[in-house]
Amino acid sequence: MKNLLLLSTLTLSLIFSAGSWAEWIEVSEYPNGSKIYVDFDKIHKIDGFAYYWSLTDFLEPDSFKMYAAADCEAFRFMPVSLLVYKLPMAEGEAILTSIPNPKWNYAPPDSVKEAILQAVCTH
């Protein structure tokens, strides 16, 4: 419960500090051409977990940012917050903010999610 409170507090404070001025580095690409970026300057490591922002930039004029926790030991991730934008590269105001029911997800081998975890965990 203490970790969930810490995670929620950290999430809310970082949602407002991760603007479009972030330095997004491309880490992977979906087969349809949509690109995935991570802001390596904003990775925080706390109690064995890496907290990070990723950005998915679709070919259509929309995008989303996800704040997630990475358990690098078990090689899994938990989405904590999701922000959806009408414009590419998360420009403008978020049109939807969602805090999903947190649960751990495992990245399939040779997937975009695996590439994100590898990039975050080796940083």
The CATH number of residue 45's host domain is: 2.40.128.710
Which ranges of the chain have pLDDT less than 50? 1-2, 4-20
Total number of domains in the chain:
1
Q: What is the pLDDT of residue 78?
A: 96
Domain that holds residue 15: 2-121
Q: What is the pLDDT of residue 102?
A: 86
Question: Mind listing the pLDDT tens digit for each residue in 6-30?
Answer: 444 444 344 444 444 579 999 999 9
Q: Which residue matches tokens 């940083």?
A: 123
Q: What is the pLDDT of residue 21?
A: 58
Q: What is the pLDDT of residue 101?
A: 84
